[in-house]
Each structure stands twice: as structure tokens, then as C-alpha cells.
Structure 1
């Protein structure tokens, strides 16, 4: 069986190996059902032509698919999508705070940086505070089953944090500590983007420098519409996804998100 989708040659770029690019494309096609359970995927020479890569690259991509439990090789016949594929990846079912609790429960946190500093530039403007106002700045790394999955960087005005210290953040998530101080969250404004892994991010997430990453910028408000936290999240798209479930009543509100093009007119 061959796919009806045409492929153009993959391009070698800093941070993303050709075999991982190919792996990602084929994995998504299997997950979406373009290659159904039990179906044979194109032979190695066909894949070489489709993606414009060498046979070594094809074999490495197929080996990664096999390691993920998505395909199996049959001697003398080819490579087939497994009849029993891994469980479907979950869809969005949790609210914002519930999802934060789930992340906290399922991951282990390491506090990389804990400092008090003075607000400046965009951070002061986003949080609606005066320049040189005191802030808490925290950088954390979260791992799941010892695999690094997420870097978070947070800024919170000192007025909201009180006596919170580094040991508190090593045992309890920041949102829980803020709620204990009487803060009630009202809404979240967030921006999704793609960034290239800096050397520091690459080292922490164990990916090549320059690899594309998911970037999420969140401005979190309390129930009185005051910004209480600015949060930057960085993740690898090979390990993480962003799930959203939007109610019908919110379809014509900003809750659905909007696409903004920064290209000059």
C-alpha cells in the first residue's frame, strides 16, 4: 500500500536530523490512519524517492517507528503497521487547574533557578507593575519517567508570593502555593509559537541545538483581572502536545484563540 500524499525532499537543517523528520511524518500518517493497522508501508527504495533521502536514513526512521511500537518488519515481505497499535493519545478532558495538577502529579520537578529581582521591560508591562518593582523569577525543569519534558520560567510580583522559598517549590507547584495565599485565578491569555532550541534549552531537554520546540507564553490573571503570573513553557514536539477543548458557547469569543501574522503588509 502506498500513501496518496506526495512528499517533497526533506531538508537538512540545524537541530533536526533527517531520519527524525521522516519518523515524525510517518508516525503522524500512521496515527491519522493513512496507513491502517496491518497495512504495508512503502518499501525502502520508494521511501528514499518519496523523501529524497538515503537508505540509511530510511532504515533509521523505520527503526524508530519500530521502537515506538508502530510498525513491525516481516522477513522478506516488508514493513507493516502493527495490528495492535499503542493506545490512542488522550484528548483534552481537563480544565486548566486540573491539568496543572495532573502535570504536577505525573512529573518530577527540579528548580534550576530561584531569584528575586526588579521588574523591567516587557515583564513589567505584561504584569502591569512599575519598573523596578520586586519580582520572583523561577526556572524549573520537569521530567516524566526520568525523561526531560518541559522547561518553565515564571515571573510573579512579590506582592503575591510572601515568604515562598525554593524548598516550597521543590515540593509543591507554584499555582497551589498562590492559591493558599488567597489568590483565585480568573483567566489565562496565552500565545503558542515555535522556537529553535538554544544551547541551554537543548542541554536541559536533551535535544540537538536548533531543534524546533513548542513555546507557550501565558499571562495568568486573578478573579479581579489583575495579572499575577507570567509563565513561559518550552517543550519538544516529539514528547509533548497542547490539547484544547472549546465549548460551543465560546466559539465566538477569544477563548478559541486567533492567528496573528507578523509579516509586514
Structure 2
């Protein structure tokens, strides 16, 4: 394949590969031609091919596995969730613009299951907030959040269209969010979730149950977030100690990342 004069060869090759991927000629997780095959195809050195592939890898267009080759990355962008983050931070780290549509902002009586989680009496008034969460204007998740009145009264419906609970409490009221407990499971979309997330009824969803705490181990809120499973998955990296005394308790979580596809 002939390359044009006056334009860096590696740039032309990376553009050609990018176009093939965008046109779905190379599909997600499909292996690309080898460096030798590409070098022969374009009549260039392997050094030039490596530069072209490095450019695509830095843009998260492909990923490379040592000894196996280069593969299409399915437009997924990982970001760090080892530290506690909110939805806006997750979206920003994934290169997406976050926004929310507040569907409900109401006061309800806490049922027995919720009162135990929030450390309040059954029937105590709590604030329930239902939100559709968007990434670049497209549905990514739907969540329901319950807060004790102490914290819920500090929030406003309009404010949550463009901000988060974390940001509002930390920046406006100096209430730090210091810890979150997560539980990840699967759920099937009911009529409401299917409608909000634009998926078929009974489509598989990724459910994140989260309880968030402030100073003094006080629960700030309990949340159920339903992610579209075609838009997000989680990757985990664990570290094993090299000495013989390693055990399950000695393998700390080094990386825990939600990976979004655009």
C-alpha cells in the first residue's frame, strides 16, 4: 500500500488503522495484523509500525498483549476507583460529560431494611432521590438514593441536575465523605428501568449497592445504582506478596476500575 509524501509514515498508518476500526472492519477484541504483516503491507520498518501502534494505544483505540499482538479495545476507557469517587469524577476520568435528570426528590418513611443500614428508626423520615445518570447525553445508569433528613435537607433538586451529593456536602457544608462500602450484583431490568435506560425489559444490569459514611462512621446515604451492562464493566487488579507467607488477607486491592464504553 503506497503512502503519501510529506506526511509522517507512522501517522498515515495509524490513521488507516483507526479508520478500519471506526468502519468496523476490525471489531472489538479482534487481533490486528502483526507488526511484520503491517510492515510488509506498507513497505516500512517495524519501528515505524510500532510508532503507529503506540499512537493508537495512547488513545485507547487498541491494547497490546506481549507475545500475542495488538487488539481492538472496544472504545473502553478505564479509570481508577481505588479511592472513593462520585459519578461526575468517574465520567470525567472516562472522558465523558456527566449530567443527571432528577426523577424523584421526595420524603418517605424508612422501611425496616433501610433503617438498619442508615442507623435510624423504622418509619423515620428520609429523603429519596431518583436520578437518571447520563454520559455524553446517553443513559449510563439509574440510581435511587436515601438520606437521613440531617443530610437530605441540605440538598436541592435543581442543584443535583448538574452537581453531585458528594460535591454539595463536601464543598458547601464541609461534610467529608470518608468511606464507602460496595456490593456488586446482577439484576434484570423491570419496566421502569428498561424505559429509563433505553434497554429491553429483562436486560441484564449491573447493580451497585453502596453505603457512604462521614466522620464518626455516620451513614450519609444508601444508594442502589443500576448500570447498563453494555456501557460499563469492572476490572480488578490484585497484588500477591512474593514471600511464602502470602495469604488471601495479604493480597491488597491495587486497582478497581469501572470501564465505560462510549
What SS does the corresponding residue of 1:159 show, helix, strand or coil?
A: helix
1:36 and 2:28 matched: no
Give the structure with the larger strand fraction: 2
Distance 2:176 2:101 in 1: 26
How many residues are paired up? 185
Distance 2:189 2:147 in 1: 25
Which structure 2 residues correspond to residues 162-241 of structure 1 after superposition, within 5 A? 162-179=153-170, 180-241=172-233
CA contact (8 A) 2:99 2:134 kept: yes
Contact (CA 8 Å) 2:102, 2:157: kept in 1 or not? yes
Match of 2:100 among 95, 98, 109: 109
Whole-angstrom CA distance in 1 between matches of 2:251 and 2:190: 31
Please list the CA deviations of residues 107-154 of structure 1 after superposition, one character each: whole Å capped at 9, or x if unmatched: 221001110122122111111111122211000001222221110110
- Could you report, residue by residue, the CA deviation over 1:13-71 in whole angstroms, capped at 9, with x for unpaired residues? xxxxxxxxxxxxxx7xx52xxx42149xxxxxxxxxxxxxxxxxxxxxxxxxxxxx99x
CA displacement, residues 234-256 of structure 1 (integer Å, 9 cap, x when unaligned) = 0111111234456779x627975
CA distance in 2, matches of 1:245, 1:143: 27
* Cα separation, 1, equivalents of 2:251 and 2:120: 24
Structure 1 residue corresponding to 2:249, chosen from 249, 252, 256 = 252
2:206/2:226 contact within 8 Å kept: yes
Report the 3-state secondary structure (helix = DSSP H, G, I; strand = E; otherwise coil) of the residue aligned with 2:234.
Answer: coil
1:175–1:129: structure 2 CA closer, same or farther, 3 Å change rule? same
Which 5+ residue runs of structure 2 have no aligned equivalent? 1-26, 35-60, 63-69, 242-247, 254-262
Counterpart of 2:145? 154
Q: Secondary structure at the match of 1:90?
A: strand
3-state SS of 2:174 partner: coil
CA distance in 1, matches of 2:115, 2:230: 33
1:61-80 correspondence runs (5 A): none
Q: How far off its partner does 1:163 sit?
A: 3.8
Q: What's the CA shift for 1:86?
A: 5.0
Distance 1:177 1:245, change over 3 A: farther
* CA–CA distance in structure 1, aligned partners of residues 231 and 74 of structure 2: 15
2:110 maps to 119
Could you tell me the TM-score, scaled by structure 2's length?
0.61
Distance 1:107 1:123, change over 3 A: same
Q: Decide whether aligned partners of structure 1 residues 190 and 99 sit closer, same or farther in structure 2, where only a CA change above 3 A counts.
A: same
The structure with more radius of gyration? 2
RMSD, aligned CA:
3.2
Aligned counterparts of 1:156 and 1:253: Cα–Cα separation in 2: 35
